[in-house]
């Protein structure tokens, strides 16, 4: 065989090998094992699961979802024991955990799963105030769920944070018992719990503007993203496509309407 033809054949084989990405048997994701309506709920809409199932169908891959403590979920993805974690906000230090859909130095909001916010809750009659810039008249620590990103923001505001519980209802009960002076919760979760429980609704109220609003993402483990770059990008794009479908938008509107009843 002529040398030039042999070199061309070898280059062609190399190019083919580089283009052929191995296909995993399934995509193994984790999330927190606590309700966060309307994204995850045992007794209502679970829009994140609906979105991921649609994205998996678009990407032609089997989906496995495991629910566990949030900190454990993050650790298992960081240690490449699972392929990804969903409903995680962006913080630069979380880049060591996994791979975000990036745009420049930050995650690309066009590839988000959804938007959500954190709000501050206080006992009715409490002097606590939040004006969007600073906390005043705070008596005691602010409660937050273990491992949640809002903890750093609260600490930056000068608040002492009690993050010993990962259960939002346990934290609401701490507030009722005056073991904490305020509570930071994802807004939809907090509003839903207050609306559904008179014991909370009659004594607890939301205060001031949102603490923060941010997009939430699916991120992949470093091993998965390195081994399956095309599938990684394809799945993020499938999430964005699903989010913009009329069917998903209607499901979101219906779920939000149900939460606000």
Cα–Cα nearest to 114, from 40, 190, 33, 207:
40
pLDDT bin (cut points 50, 70, 90) of residue 12 is very low
User: What is the spatial distance between Cα 66 and Cα 112, in angstroms, rounded to a whole number?
Assistant: 20
In a domain, 3, yes or no: no
Contacts of 152-159 spanning 24+ positions with Cβ under 8 A:
152/91, 153/118, 153/211, 153/212, 154/184, 154/211, 159/135
Number of domains in the chain: 2
User: What is the spatial distance between Cα 125 and Cα 204, in angstroms, rounded to a whole number?
Assistant: 9
pLDDT at 259: 73
DSSP conformation class of 109:
G
Cα–Cα nearest to 236, from 75, 97, 99, 142:
99
Cα–Cα nearest to 31, from 9, 47, 55:
47
Model confidence at 245: pLDDT above 80:
yes
In terms of phi and psi (left: phi > 0; alpha: psi -120 to 50; beta: otherwise), the region of 85 is beta
pLDDT at 200: 97
In a domain, 7, yes or no: no
Cα–Cα nearest to 113, from 241, 257, 251:
241
Are 127 and 208 in the same domain? yes
Q: Which of 8-12, 71-75, 239-243 has the lowest mean pLDDT?
A: 8-12
Are 225 and 105 in the same domain? yes
pLDDT bin (cut points 50, 70, 90) of residue 257 is confident
| Residues pairing with 217 in the sheet | 88
pLDDT at 261: 61
Q: What is the CATH number of the domain that holds 101?
A: 3.40.190.10
Percent with pLDDT over 70 in the chain: 92
Are 135 and 244 in the same domain? no
Are 88 and 152 in the same domain? no
User: What is the spatial distance between Cα 251 and Cα 103, in angstroms, rounded to a whole number?
Assistant: 28
pLDDT at 113: 98
pLDDT at 15: 40
In a domain, 75, yes or no: yes
pLDDT bin (cut points 50, 70, 90) of residue 20 is low
Are 206 and 246 in the same domain? no
- Report the mean per-residue pLDDT for the chain: 91
Give me the half-sphere count of Cα atoms (radius 13 Å) on the Cβ side of residue 261.
7
pLDDT at 127: 97
Are 202 and 132 in the same domain? yes
Q: Over the stretch 169-189, which tens digit does the pLDDT of each residue have?
A: 999 999 999 999 999 999 999
Q: Over the stretch 30-52, which tens digit does the pLDDT of each residue have?
A: 999 998 889 998 877 799 999 99
Q: Parallel, antiparallel, or unpaired: how do β-strands 106-107 and 102-103 relate?
A: antiparallel
End-to-end CA distance of the chain: 77
Query: Residue 71's domain spans which residues?
Result: 26-114+215-259
Is residue 86 within 8 A of residue 218, CB to CB? The reply is yes
What average pLDDT does range 243-247 have in this prediction? 95
CA dihedral 65, 68, 72, 77 (to 10 degrees): 0
Phi first, then psi: give them for residue 18, nearest 5 degrees.
-70, -35
Are 175 and 227 in the same domain? no
Cα–Cα nearest to 34, from 73, 81, 62:
73
pLDDT at 17: 42
Rounded to two decimals, the pTM is 0.83
Q: Over the stretch 53-67, which tens digit does the pLDDT of each residue have?
A: 999 999 999 999 999
Contacts of 181 (CB under 8 A, 6+ apart): 122, 126, 128, 138, 139, 140, 141, 142
User: What is the spatial distance between Cα 126 and Cα 239, in angstroms, rounded to a whole number?
Assistant: 42
Are 51 and 98 in the same domain? yes
Model confidence at 4: pLDDT above 60:
no
Q: Over the stretch 117-146, which tens digit does the pLDDT of each residue have?
A: 999 999 999 999 999 999 999 999 999 999
Are 108 and 226 in the same domain? yes
In a domain, 19, yes or no: no
Are 141 and 228 in the same domain? no
């Amino acid at each position: 065989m002529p040398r030039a033809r042999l070199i061309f054949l070898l280059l062609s084989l190399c190019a083919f090998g580089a283009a052929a990405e191995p296909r995993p048997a399934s995509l193994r994701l984790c999330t927190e094992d606590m309700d966060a309506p309307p994204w995850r709920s045992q007794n209502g809409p679970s829009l994140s699961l609906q979105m991921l199932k649609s994205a998996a169908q678009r990407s032609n891959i089997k989906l496995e979802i495991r629910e566990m403590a949030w900190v454990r979920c993050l650790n298992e993805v960081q240690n490449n024991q699972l392929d990804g974690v969903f409903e995680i906000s962006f913080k630069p230090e979380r880049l060591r955990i996994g791979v975000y859909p990036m745009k420049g130095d930050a995650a690309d909001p066009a590839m988000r799963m959804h938007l959500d916010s954190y709000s501050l809750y206080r006992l009715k009659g409490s002097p606590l105030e939040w004006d969007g810039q600073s906390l005043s008249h705070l008596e005691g620590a602010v409660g937050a769920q273990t491992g949640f990103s809002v903890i750093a923001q609260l600490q930056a505001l000068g608040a002492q944070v009690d993050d010993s519980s990962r259960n939002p209802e346990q934290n609401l009960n701490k507030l009722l018992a005056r073991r904490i002076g305020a509570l930071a919760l994802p807004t939809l979760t907090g509003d839903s719990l207050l609306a559904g429980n008179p014991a909370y609704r009659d004594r607890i109220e939301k205060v001031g503007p949102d603490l923060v609003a941010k997009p939430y993402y699916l991120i992949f483990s470093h091993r998965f993203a390195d081994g399956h770059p095309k599938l990684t990008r394809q799945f993020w794009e499938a999430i964005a496509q699903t989010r913009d479908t009329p069917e998903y938008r209607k499901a979101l509107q219906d779920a939000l309407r149900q939460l606000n009843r």
